[in-house]
């Protein structure tokens, strides 16, 4: 397994071929379910051991129960500060020996404290071709702008918002007869495929981060 991670299974030549993975969700969880199913089909190594949520009522929780994935709910309202909340997350992730974090509709911005703890070991998927259309309403924003092409970006999480090094992107055409609903369906279909591809690249290829670029090594 290659990469320029800071610790654990993401270190070059670490010999750890089966990283423990946690998926963070806040809502519907369709990407979470796709990741679990693709992982079980062998489309990327390791094992999804945990789903973390900040929303006890998220439909993703029901998906996790059906898929027999343990759920960790940590209520941010119980903590005075974001750092106090994230310290609990870090402690629990260590208890589960988590090596890699996949954000899948997790609607909280992670602090520099948390990002530092898992540098280059947090991936996120965003429904646009970053850096275009950052933020929570990317599909709607792209559709209303009138773009002819949009897509999906998988990137590492850094201290900014939708600003980390890009691992993989995929595009979809916006046709004249598309509605917001049909475009959303196209985007979600692409997300369910491309996220697993990106995870596989990170876990099976040798790579480095150079001047913000994710670079595959020969």
Which residues are known catalytic residues?
A: 126
Query: Could you tell me the two tokens for 97?
Result: 């020996």
Query: Could you tell me the two tokens for 114?
Result: 């948390």
**How far apart are the C-alpha atoms of 86 and 114, rounded to whole Å?**
7
**How far apart are the C-alpha atoms of 202 and 41, rounded to whole Å?**
18
* SS3 at position 112: helix
Q: Measuring CA to CA, which residue among 170, 76, 65 is closest to residue 126?
A: 170
User: Which residues, 6 or more positions from 196, have their beta carbon under 8 angstroms from its beta carbon?
Assistant: 34, 35, 38, 39, 43, 44
Q: Alpha carbon 134 to chain centroid distance? A: 15
DSSP state at residue 78: G
Instruction: Write down the residue that tokens 């993401």 correspond to.
Output: 10
Q: What is the dihedral of CA 66, 70, 76, 80, to 10 degrees?
A: 160
Q: Measuring CA to CA, which residue among 209, 157, 141, 188 is closest to residue 27?
A: 188
């Amino acid at each position: 397994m290659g990469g320029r991670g800071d610790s654990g299974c993401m270190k070059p030549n670490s010999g750890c071929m089966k990283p423990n993975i946690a998926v963070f969700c806040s809502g519907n969880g369709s990407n979470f379910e796709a990741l679990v199913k693709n992982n079980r089909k062998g489309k990327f190594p390791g094992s999804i051991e945990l789903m973390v949520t900040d929303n006890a009522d998220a439909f993703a929780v029901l998906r996790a129960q059906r898929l027999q994935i343990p759920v960790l709910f940590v209520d941010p309202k119980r903590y005075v500060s974001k750092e106090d909340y994230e310290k609990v997350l870090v402690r629990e992730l260590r208890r589960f020996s988590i090596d890699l974090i996949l954000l899948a509709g997790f609607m909280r911005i992670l602090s520099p404290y948390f990002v530092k703890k898992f540098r280059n070991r947090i991936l996120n998927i965003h429904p646009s071709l970053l850096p275009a259309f950052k933020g929570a309403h990317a599909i709607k924003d792209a559709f209303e702008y009138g773009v002819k092409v949009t897509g999906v970006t998988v990137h590492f999480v850094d201290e900014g918002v939708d600003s980390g090094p890009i691992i993989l992107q995929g595009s979809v055409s916006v046709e004249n007869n598309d509605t917001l609903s049909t475009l959303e369906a196209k985007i979600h279909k692409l997300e369910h495929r491309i996220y697993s591809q990106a995870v596989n690249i990170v876990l099976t290829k040798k790579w480095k981060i150079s001047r913000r670029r994710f670079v595959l090594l020969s």
